[in-house]
């Protein structure tokens, strides 16, 4: 079973809990960062815009960022610079799958280390279990206590009018909503920038997704109980074909479908909204390890 850190309370308290739990790995990364990233200098124009839009459009996550920095004993500006660097790198190989068959619902995406498992009990929001980077604010795979699940991954595209990453919307949805359509409505109207795809599934068997590229938004609907997305359209078509051929579409089948698009072996992250759990399958494992909410 996956071991998880526990975070609870107001947004800053959530960040403090994560920062304290991840202090060794964050301090090591901070110490090894280039000196120019650790200097107490003002943020550059692009990074300052990101920090401004984070506070403006995701104020609860901005508070969590401040708590994360305090708990880990690292610079808040360094965390902003790290977030900006990850946005600049992006991922042209990003892809994800979702399947709903009978009483079974599964979401899956490729993922690489480092990551942690986190149980969060936000003040005034739904409890959720997520897989998240040690320095991350929003999970890239997660499920909440109502059975809403989401996977979020980067997409190519210009930043747009807002510099706050669209993938952060995943955490908003987990803390606020119980149904796929409510999450879609939220993501369709909230300011956010850069590129991201979010696939949603819930314990009722509903699937849908949204692709965000700068200011453009496109809702993704399933076909025959399955939904596939890739940053490259041709790869997405191949993924959809592989998913339709999977029988049954269990965790192993979704991992095999994703593996067809990989240049090298990689691990797979899963979300099971019905069982309220997240999972992780390494390339050499026979079955996923799971963390239940």
Residue 88 has pLDDT above 70, yes or no: no
* 222 and 167 within one domain: yes
* Per-residue model confidence as pLDDT tens digits over 94-152: 788 898 887 789 999 988 788 999 999 999 999 999 999 999 999 999 999 999 999 99
Q: Which of 88, 122, 139 is the last residue of a domain?
A: 88
* Whether residue 204 sits in one domain with residue 67: no
Residues 29 and 119 in one domain: no
pLDDT tops 60 at residue 1: no
| Residue finishing a domain among 49, 65, 88 | 88
Higher pLDDT among residues 49 and 259, named by residue: 49
Indicate whether 59 and 108 sit together in one domain. no
Structural domain tally of the chain? 2
Q: What is the mean pLDDT of residues 206-216?
A: 90
User: At 40, is the pLDDT very low, low, confident or very high (cuts 50, 70, 90)?
Assistant: low
**Is residue 220 located within the same domain as residue 152?**
yes
Structural contact between residues 214 and 223, judged by C-beta atoms closer than 8 angstroms: no
- The secondary structure of 213-258 as a DSSP string is ETTEEEEE--BTTEEEEESSHHHHHHHHHHHHH-SS--HHHHHHHH
For residue 65, what is the DSSP state? H
Residue 16: which pLDDT band, with cuts at 50, 70 and 90? very high
Q: Are residues 118 and 70 in the same domain?
A: no
- Is residue 277 scored above 80 in pLDDT? yes
Is residue 154 packed enough to be buried (19+ CB in 10 Å), middle (13-18) or exposed (0-12)?
buried
Domain of 185, CATH number, reads: 3.60.60.10
Residue 238 is predicted with a pLDDT of: 79
Same-domain pairing of 77 and 115: no
Question: Do 130 and 188 fall within a single domain?
Answer: yes
pLDDT at 20: 97
Residue where a domain terminates, one of 27, 54, 88: 88
| Residues 40 and 113 reside in one and the same domain | no
Determine the Cα–Cα distance for residues 27 and 34; give it in Å rounded to an integer. 13
Domain that includes residue 82, residue range = 4-88
Mean pLDDT for 254-270 is 79
């Amino acid at each position: 079973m996956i071991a998880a850190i526990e975070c609870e309370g107001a947004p800053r308290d959530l960040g403090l809990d994560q920062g304290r739990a991840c202090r060794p790995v964050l301090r090591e990364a901070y110490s090894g960062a280039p000196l120019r990233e650790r200097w107490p200098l003002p943020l550059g124009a692009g990074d300052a815009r990101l920090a401004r839009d984070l506070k403006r459009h995701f104020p609860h996550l901005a508070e969590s960022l401040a708590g994360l920095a305090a708990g880990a004993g690292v610079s808040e500006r360094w965390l902003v610079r790290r977030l900006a660097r990850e946005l600049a790198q992006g991922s042209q190989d990003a892809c994800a799958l979702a399947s709903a068959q009978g009483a079974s619902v599964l979401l899956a995406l490729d993922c690489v280390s480092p990551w942690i498992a986190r149980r969060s009990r936000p003040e005034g929001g739904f409890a959720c279990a997520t897989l998240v980077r040690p320095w991350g604010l929003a999970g890239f795979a997660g499920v909440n206590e109502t059975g809403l699940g989401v996977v979020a991954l980067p997409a190519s595209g210009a930043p747009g009018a807002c510099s706050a990453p669209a993938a952060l919307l995943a955490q908003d949805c987990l803390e606020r909503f119980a149904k796929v359509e409510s999450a879609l409505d939220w993501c369709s109207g909230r300011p956010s920038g850069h590129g991201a795809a979010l696939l949603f599934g819930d314990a009722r068997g509903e699937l849908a997704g949204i692709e965000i590229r700068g200011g453009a938004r496109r809702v993704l609907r399933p076909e025959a109980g399955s939904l596939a997305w890739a940053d490259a359209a041709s790869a997405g078509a191949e993924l959809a074909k592989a998913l339709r051929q999977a029988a049954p579409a269990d965790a192993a089948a979704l991992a095999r479908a994703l593996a067809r698009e990989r240049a090298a072996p990689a691990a797979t992250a899963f979300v099971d909204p019905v069982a309220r759990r997240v999972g992780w399958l390494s390339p050499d494992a026979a079955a996923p390890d799971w963390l239940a909410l």
